[in-house]
Amino acid sequence: MPEVPYLSIDVVFPSSVYHGTLDIHLDSFKERLLNKRYWKSGRDFGHGLYTTISIEQAKDWARSMQDKLNKGHPCVLEISVQPDRLDFQPNSRIFTGISHDWAKYIYEHRKVRVNGADPCPRHANIVIGPMADADTGKIVQDGVRLKKDSEWFLDKITRNSTNRRLDSLKLGNQIVFCMEELAPMLNISGAYVYQGRRWRYHSNREENE
């Protein structure tokens, strides 16, 4: 059987994406936005910088990080996306909605231990798709312990805390940049920092003037 060529599609990105973090990491991101040294194993789509098209979702990520670490202030990076600045065509894997393939992809990547090998024969440079809901980490642990398959995992990650099934729109969306060589297409245009019960926007352009 002849080898099927890798399909290239024209991905039209939003003008901006958002990343939830803490303000104590802001200078590090400004110095180097894509730094695989800080990318962790066992995440939905593997190693990479996780972003979203929803600023509210990024704010939730930032608040969750602050609650977990109890230091710094919640911070959301506003990142402009300019793919025409790349001198190569990145390959992308796009999940347009909930599916068994999407759940299997997450399950396989979530089961990777620290410094473990990526389950993909060739991991995409950019991965786009819905986020899993509920306590995904605990679900994965239960799945591994009980030797459950990806069909079981699909059912668990598409339900909320009251066990009600959610559709893709309510799960939210994430765009993951999985290689440092994508750096030319991304630029921090500003940051929202939560202080004094409100989010304050700091323009990166104003700081550089």
The pLDDT of residue 32 is above 80: yes
For domain 16-204, give its CATH number from 3.30.420, 3.90.228, 3.90.920, 3.40.50.
3.90.228
Neighbours of 104 (CB within 10 A): 16
Give the β-pairing of 16-22 and 126-130: unpaired
Secondary structure (H, E, C), the chain: CCCCCCCCCCCCCCCEEEEEEEHHHHHHHHHCCCCHHHCCCCCCCCCCEEEECCHHHHHHHHHHHHHHHCCCCEEEEEEEECHHHCCCCCCEEECCCCCHHHHHHHHHHHCCCCCCCCCCCCCCCEEEEECCCCCHHHHHHHHHHHCCCHHHHHHHHCECCCCCECCHHHHCEEEEECCHHHHHHEEEEEEEEEECCEEEEEEHHHHHC
In the structure, what pLDDT confidence band is assigned to residue 35 with cuts at 50, 70 and 90? very high
What confidence tens digit (pLDDT) does each residue in 127-167 have?
999 988 667 888 999 999 999 999 999 998 888 777 777 77
What confidence tens digit (pLDDT) does each residue in 90-105 have?
999 999 999 999 999 9
According to DSSP, the residues that pair with 21 across neighbouring strands are 75
Nearest to 90, CA basis, from 128, 62, 118: 128
Nearest to 104, CA basis, from 141, 152, 136, 161: 152
Q: Percent of the chain at pLDDT above 90? A: 70
The pLDDT of residue 79 is above 60: yes
The pLDDT of residue 6 is above 70: no
Q: Percent of the chain at pLDDT above 70? A: 91
Q: Report CA 200 to chain centroid distance, whole Å.
A: 23
The pLDDT of residue 193 is above 90: yes
